[in-house]
Amino acid sequence: MRDDTGGRKHDARADASGVATLYHDHHGWLRNWLQRKLGNHGDAADLAHDTFVRLLSKDAPVCPREPRAFLTVVAQGLVANLHRHRKIEAAYLDALAAQPETVAPDPETRAILLQTLIDIDRRLDGLPPVVRRVFLMSQLDGLAQRDIADATGISIATVQRHIVKALHACCFGNPAA
């Protein structure tokens, strides 16, 4: 298929068909592999499902030469996300437990706050390490920009650019150019 610009047009039906074939041929294997890795049938089933959902959401066609190796890489990323989310959740619940009950948020607000923390973590994880470090030194450690510049060996102007880039990523989902 061609679009109006003469370029190749994306055929979602062909992609879904390719993912359906991968699912049919390898879903059981992937679920069992995840079960062995995680030791939990429910998490394994969820992540096996999420692996194929992730493939369906890709813009490019999915037709790997080594399907099991490909699925393993995708699933390993989801396993890492699961572990990171659980660490964030545990830290959040620990922080909540330290608060008096009178200021504890209701369950809906807790769920929204936890999802927001996970989203911010994902956005910060997508930044270059120095940008993330400068931002965390500013926001979590409360260091002044001059102290961050001294500690990292970069200029105050660069510290400011890094903070702006990280704030942009946290608020809008992508780093400022």
Decide: 78 and 54 in contact? Cβ < 8 Å.
yes
Rounded to an integer, what distance in angstroms lies between the CA atom of residue 1 and that of residue 123?
A: 36
Rounded to an integer, what distance in angstroms lies between the CA atom of residue 125 and that of residue 129?
A: 8
15-64 pLDDT, tens digit per residue, is: 677 888 899 999 999 999 999 999 999 999 999 999 999 888 887 777 78
> Six-digit token pair at 4?
């109006």
Rounded to an integer, what distance in angstroms lies between the CA atom of residue 38 and that of residue 2?
A: 44
Decide: 92 and 117 in contact? Cβ < 8 Å.
yes
In DSSP terms, 2 is beta-bridged to 8
Which of residues 82 and 174 earns the better pLDDT score?
Answer: 82
Report the pLDDT averaged over residues 116-132: 92
> Up-side HSE of residue 13: CA atoms within 13 Å toward CB?
1
pLDDT score of 5 = 38
Alpha-helical regions (H) of 39-155: 41-56, 67-97, 107-125, 129-139, 145-152
Rounded to an integer, what distance in angstroms lies between the CA atom of residue 69 and that of residue 96?
A: 40
58-113 pLDDT, tens digit per residue, is: 877 777 889 999 999 999 999 999 999 999 999 988 988 888 888 888 889 989 99
> Six-digit token pair at 146?
């001059």
71-80 pLDDT, tens digit per residue, is: 999 999 999 9
Please, what sign has the CA dihedral across residues 32, 38, 40, 42?
negative
C-alpha distances (whole Å) from 155 to each of 25, 74, 151, 160, 162 are 55, 39, 10, 9, 11
* pLDDT surpassing 70 at residue 10: no
Rounded to an integer, what distance in angstroms lies between the CA atom of residue 80 and that of residue 78?
A: 5
Q: Is 2 helix (H, G, I), strand (E, B) or coil?
A: strand
Cα 174 → chain centroid? 13
